[in-house]
Amino acid sequence: MSQKTYSAKAGDIKRQWHVIDVSDKVLGRAASQIATLLKGKHKAIYTPSMDTGDHVVVINAEKVKVTGTKEQDKMYYRHPFAGFPGALKITNLEKLRQRHPEDIIINAVRRMLPRNALGRQMMTKLKVYAGDTHPHAAQKPSAFEVEA
C-alpha cells in the first residue's frame, strides 16, 4: 500500500455544474455548502493548494431566509472611496435584499473561502441570480439540494 500523498493535477480536474435553489433556505447553512462545492472538498481529488471545485448557479437569491432579527440587525459595511473621511457606507440586510439580492449570497460565500488569489479564482465559478431563471441551461447543470 502506497503512503504517498495524492496531489491533483490540472488534467485530473473534471468540473461539473450545479444549480441550487435557495428559496426558504437558511443563508449561512446554504452558503457553507456552496463554498464546499466551489472549493472541491466534496471530491476525492481535493487538493488544498488547487482549485478543484465545481461551477455553482444559485437561483432565487431574493427568497433566502435568515433567522432571528437579522433582517434588520445584520449590517453590511463597504468603503467605496477608501481612505477618505466619511467614506464608510452601512446598509442592513433588508435594504440590501431590495437593491441587490444577489450580494447577500455572494458576501456570505466569499467570506467562507480563502482570502487570497485562490479564493478569488473560486469565486469566478459562482453565478447568483435573484429570480428563478438563469442563462446556463446549455451547461446542463444538475440540481443540488442543500440541507438548510
Question: What pLDDT score does 3 carry?
Answer: 87
In this prediction the pTM is: 0.94
CATH code of domain 17-143: 3.90.1180.10
Q: What is the pLDDT of residues 56-101, one digit of tens each?
A: 999 999 999 999 999 999 999 999 999 899 999 999 999 999 999 9
pLDDT beyond 80 at 128: yes
Please write down the HEC assignment for all residues of the chain. Answer: CCCCCCCCCHHHCCCCEEEEECCCCEHHHHHHHHHHHHHCCCCCCCCCCCCCCCEEEEECHHHCECCCCHHHHCEEEECCCCCCCCCCEEEEHHHHHHHCCHHHHHHHHHCCCCCCHHHHHHHCCEEECCCCCCCCHHHCCEECCCCC
